[in-house]
């Protein structure tokens, strides 16, 4: 099992070291003239002058603004290395559960996305009409997956998808909220017996959050049918179900008094109905609460609510078999505002530890969410044929922000490369021998580097290994060449051993293999 626990305690981020090319013009196109002789120097110098001229004319003589757009950011090598390990841990779990990978375009037809996200539809990035199709950037990976199933007439599939999505949100980058960010989705499509796929999705969330060792967490579960039944018995008109659901979805961010005020003042709900909702949404628990609500005189008479509570009871029985109910809470305040959910919904949050001033742990943010959406595929099928689906999305950006903060607070370094060995020389005029040796290593699949100098000092070569975390140095010298050996140095211990050249590859593999 791949764990990222050590990453949480791993160390100081390495400096980024970006490479700056010529600044890009802020407007217009650069036309490459052929008036100068072709060649790297002539073309590059001409391009640089034209870029500067274009930038100056477009910006009134000012230098171009060098920044990323709001809600986005660059990732230096240390960040990228940390993210790769995090994504690898998540994908390993998805594969462990038998999912196959797919990919879909970052662009979708605008009509594919519209009307699927409730009040969040306004956050979709719509693109200008380019004289053809009306397009938008994908908002999530679930709607494109449903479109993919309908378009290809697929009725049974277990898939995962890791890709970037885009939202015109007000970003809070300190809390891992961006306008461009990764989602990691796992979904099960097909007609199966109730709650078995749903339970597996919750098990996956539990496995990932346990493996990453982020701290204490809680997975909240509810059911859209229970919510709709609750709204009905509380006196909410059918036409207001979705908009009131969006208000309830804010309970993890603002107190009940503010949610009630929005329901009554902005959405026209009666104060009595809002108060009845308040009695229910403050309830949370486990099987005992489910049994209690099954006996509730109002909810038990509502067909939708009774059906949802029955499935919730079955879900908890399966979760008990998985041994994870200690981290699961049936929470009637959980709503998840997306319109396409039809059944079980869930959300995982990280908890702050208890202390003397707080009676119970406090949520510090959602790190996963999902649910059942049995009607979404049918919205795209010409004949309205439904494919039941349930899935989960891991909030990789929020998790990455947490790990990043922990790394920056420690003092160790994160390796940004996987280089196993540096090929070095102790004397001058051995560049050819270094290049011959590194070619042998590359051909054998060894990850190796060499400094780009004819006669580098040995001390500089060893220092490069120290700085970048390369564990081994293969040193060629005149005597080693005569004896048919290579001196292999372990950077951490400074131990040196002579290895026969024909045995070098195996020796490097043995010394750098992970237990």
Which residues lie below 8 Å from residue 182, measured CB to CB, with a gap of 6+? 83, 87, 162, 163, 164, 165, 396, 397
Q: Is 103 annotated as a binding residue?
A: no
Q: Is 224 annotated as a binding residue?
A: no
HSE-CB for 2 with a 13 A CA cutoff: 14
The answer to whether residues 136 and 129 touch, using CB atoms and an 8 Å cutoff, is no
Q: How far apart are CA 124 and CA 114, in angstroms?
A: 8
Q: Is 142 annotated as a binding residue?
A: yes
Q: Is 141 annotated as a binding residue?
A: yes
Q: How far apart are CA 360 and CA 353, in angstroms?
A: 8
Strand partners, 12: 413
The answer to whether residues 23 and 66 touch, using CB atoms and an 8 Å cutoff, is yes
Q: How far apart are CA 160 and CA 340, in angstroms?
A: 19
The SS3 call for residue 11 is coil
Task: Name the token pair of 113.
Answer: 């996305």
The answer to whether residues 163 and 182 touch, using CB atoms and an 8 Å cutoff, is yes
8-state DSSP, 133: -
The answer to whether residues 147 and 366 touch, using CB atoms and an 8 Å cutoff, is no
Task: Tell which phi-psi region holds residue 226, choosing left (phi > 0), alpha (psi between -120 and 50) or beta.
Answer: alpha
Q: Is 340 annotated as a binding residue?
A: yes
Task: Name the token pair of 435.
Answer: 């290049």
Q: Is 187 annotated as a binding residue?
A: yes
Per the annotation, binding residues for L-histidine are 140-142, 167, 183, 187, 336, 340-341
Pick out the residues of the known binding site.
140-142, 167, 183, 187, 336, 340-341
């Amino acid at each position: 099992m791949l764990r990222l626990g050590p990453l949480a305690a791993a160390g100081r981020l390495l400096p980024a070291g970006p490479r700056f090319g010529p600044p890009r013009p802020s407007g217009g196109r650069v036309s490459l003239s052929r008036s100068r002789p072709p060649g790297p120097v002539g073309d590059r110098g001409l391009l640089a002058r034209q870029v500067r001229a274009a930038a100056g004319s477009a910006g009134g003589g000012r230098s171009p603004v060098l920044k990323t757009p709001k809600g986005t950011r660059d990732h230096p090598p240390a960040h990228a290395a940390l993210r790769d390990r995090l994504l690898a841990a998540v994908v390993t779990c998805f594969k462990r559960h038998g999912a196959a990978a797919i990919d879909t375009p970052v662009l979708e037809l605008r009509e594919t996305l519209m009307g699927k996200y409730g009040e969040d539809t306004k956050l979709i990035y719509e693109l200008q009409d380019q004289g053809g199709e009306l397009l938008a950037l994908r908002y999530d990976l679930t709607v494109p997956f449903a479109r993919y199933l309908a378009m290809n007439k697929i009725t049974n599939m277990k898939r995962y998808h890791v890709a970037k999505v885009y939202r015109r949100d007000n970003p809070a980058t300190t809390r891992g909220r961006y306008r461009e960010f990764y989602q990691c989705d796992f979904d099960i499509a097909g007609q199966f017996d109730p709650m078995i796929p749903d339970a597996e999705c919750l098990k996956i969330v539990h496995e990932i959050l346990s493996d990453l060792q982020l701290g204490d967490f809680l997975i909240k579960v509810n059911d859209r049918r229970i919510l709709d039944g609750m709204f009905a018995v509380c006196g909410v008109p059918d036409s207001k179900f979705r908009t009131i659901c969006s208000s309830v979805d804010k309970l993890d961010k603002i107190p009940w008094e503010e949610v009630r005020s929005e329901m009554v003042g902005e959405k026209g709900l009666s104060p009595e109905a809002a108060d009845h909702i308040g009695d229910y949404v403050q309830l949370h628990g486990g099987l005992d609460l489910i049994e209690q609500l099954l006996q509730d005189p109002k909810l038990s008479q509502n067909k939708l609510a009774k059906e949802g509570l029955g499935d919730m009871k079955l879900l908890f029985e399966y979760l008990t078999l998985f041994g994870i109910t200690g981290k699961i809470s049936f929470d009637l305040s959980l709503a998840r505002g997306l319109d396409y959910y039809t059944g079980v919904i869930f959300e995982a949050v990280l908890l702050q530890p208890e202390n003397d001033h707080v009676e119970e742990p406090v949520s510090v943010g959602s790190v996963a969410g999902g649910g059942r959406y049995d009607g979404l595929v049918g919205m795209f099928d010409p004949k309205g044929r439904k494919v039941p689906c349930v899935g989960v999305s891991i909030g990789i950006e929020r998790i990455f922000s947490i790990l990043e903060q922990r790394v920056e607070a420690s003092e160790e370094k994160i390796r940004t490369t996987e280089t196993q060995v540096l090929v070095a020389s102790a004397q001058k005029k051995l560049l050819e021998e270094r290049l011959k040796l590194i070619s042998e290593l590359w051909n054998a699949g060894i990850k190796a580097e060499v400094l780009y100098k004819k006669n580098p000092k040995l001390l500089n070569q060893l220092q490069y290994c120290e700085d970048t975390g390369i564990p081994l140095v293969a040193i060629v010298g005149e005597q080693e060449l005569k004896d048919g050996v290579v001196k292999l140095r372990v950077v951490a211990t400074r131990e040196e051993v002579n290895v026969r050249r024909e045995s070098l590859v195996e020796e490097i593999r043995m010394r750098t293999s992970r237990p």
